[in-house]
């Protein structure tokens, strides 16, 4: 099994338009692999501009927001990089595409780290943050998972929300649950 780090990846297209997406990047050798599914804006952007920023954040609203149509998050320019980072990033890594392994479903962009910086301290995790992240992953796969599995996972994850969530985690959870309910209703 590979080590996967859940991040928010920022990329830009040839015109400089920013795209923000939650992605698990895969550790490989001395770099990271970005493996977006086809079709995707991240894939198109990496082809046009072979740089990405892996944003390490504990703001679960960004993960949830990206999956529920809320993609307007403040950005900050990164020195010597065409791609900005999230203002809410605790730290970030600038990734440059070194090679691409083509695949009909999920090409793999191997990236080397060309710069890293820390912006704020990591003050710890709570179970609600982890639960929101897991729900975000479920939401991204609703079209592939049986309803019973989704319902069972939500029942378990909701315990952490009830016991440990702050206002931000509750908001992120609510956004994702709206998406689950819309999917269940056929929307």
Q: What is the pLDDT of residues 119-170, one digit of tens each?
A: 999 998 899 999 999 999 999 999 999 999 999 999 999 999 999 999 999 9
Total structural domains within the chain: 2
- Looking at the fold, whether 145 and 86 belong to one and the same domain comes out as no
Dihedral sign from CA coordinates of 144, 177, 26, 17: positive
Question: Could you list the residue range(s) of the whole structural domain that residue 29 is in?
Answer: 4-118
- Looking at the fold, whether 160 and 91 belong to one and the same domain comes out as no
- Looking at the fold, whether 15 and 99 belong to one and the same domain comes out as yes
Residue 185 in this model has a pLDDT that exceeds 90? no
Residues 6+ apart with CB under 8 A from 185: none
pLDDT at 187: 63
- Looking at the fold, whether 143 and 66 belong to one and the same domain comes out as no
Name the pTM for this structure.
0.92
> In Å, how far are 128, 162, 177, 180 from 147, measured between CA atoms?
22, 22, 13, 10
CATH of the domain at 170: 1.20.58
- Looking at the fold, whether 12 and 96 belong to one and the same domain comes out as yes
CATH of the domain at 43: 2.30.110.10
């Amino acid at each position: 099994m590979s080590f996967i780090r859940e991040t928010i990846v920022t990329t830009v297209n040839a015109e400089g338009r920013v795209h923000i997406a939650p992605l698990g990047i895969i550790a490989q050798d001395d770099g990271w692999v970005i493996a977006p599914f086809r079709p995707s804006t991240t894939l198109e952007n990496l082809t046009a501009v072979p740089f990405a920023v892996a944003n390490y954040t504990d703001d679960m609203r960004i993960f949830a927001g990206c999956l529920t149509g809320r993609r307007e998050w403040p950005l900050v320019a990164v020195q010597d990089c065409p791609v900005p980072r999230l203002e809410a990033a605790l730290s970030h890594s600038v990734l440059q595409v070194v090679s691409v392994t083509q695949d009909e479903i999920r090409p793999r962009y191997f990236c080397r780290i060309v710069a890293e910086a820390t912006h704020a301290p990591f003050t710890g995790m709570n179970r609600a943050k982890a639960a929101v992240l897991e729900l975000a992953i479920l939401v991204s796969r609703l079209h592939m998972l049986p309803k019973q599995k989704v319902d069972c996972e939500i029942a378990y994850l909701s315990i952490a929300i009830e016991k440990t969530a702050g206002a931000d985690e509750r908001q992120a959870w609510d956004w994702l649950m709206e998406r689950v309910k819309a999917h269940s209703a056929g929307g």
